[in-house]
Amino acid sequence: MSRIAHIALDDSNLAPPTPEIEQERKVAIFDLLEDNTFALPPRDGRAVPDGPYKLDLSIREKRLVFDVKTQGDDPAAEFHLSLSPFRQVVKDYYQICESYFDAVKTAAPAQIETIDMARRGIHNEGARILEERLSGKVQIDNDTARRLFTLVCVLHFGG
């Protein structure tokens, strides 16, 4: 089973999230655990431990860390990604999210829809970058990349 069965975020060193950010996090984790594709390809001729997997996401030393374990907590893989490629898209995503959350309170439905379309576009760009950065390390589908990008944003929020 090539999927994530458990996910944890190490947010111990982060500022407390806003209610909106906390809601985004809960929805992303729920959706991710309900439906995801996460397969470790063979590397350097070594056998790949079977899934499902446990995934711990964290930021350490200004790097995004994917710590993948088997259901029995045996190490399966660990990836360290530079945060640099994500900085601008995360910043843009938070700015558009703020506009969206403000618009939901007072704006007309057409204006909310326009902002939401822009938000989804930026989110898709972040998912694309994440897929590129994980290429060769793990195989994920677009929906999994989108949900993982949301969690990267949550971690980056305080990082």
At residue 54, φ and ψ (nearest 5 deg) are: -105, 135
Position 24 scores a pLDDT of 84
Mean residue pLDDT across the chain: 91
The predicted structure's pLDDT at residue 53: 97
Q: Look-up: residue for tokens 């944890």?
A: 8
Note the pLDDT of residue 159: 44
End-to-end CA distance of the chain: 32
Q: How does pLDDT run across 148-157, given as a tens digit for each residue?
A: 999 998 887 6
Domain around 46? 4-158
Tens digit of each residue's pLDDT (9 = 90 or more) over 46-72: 888 888 999 999 998 889 999 999 999
Residue 88, token pair as written in the block: 């601008």
CA distance 71 to 59: 22
- How far apart are the C-alpha atoms of 22 and 2, rounded to whole Å? 27
Helix (H) or strand (E) holding 92: helix 84-106
> How many domains in the chain?
1
Is 0.85 topped by the overall pTM?
yes
Tell me how far apart the alpha carbons of residues 63 and 73 are, in angstroms, rounded to a whole number.
Answer: 22
Q: Is the pLDDT of residue 81 over 50?
A: yes
User: What is the number of other CB atoms lying within 10 angstroms of the CB of residue 103?
Assistant: 17
Question: Which single residue is written with the structure tokens 């439906």?
Answer: 35
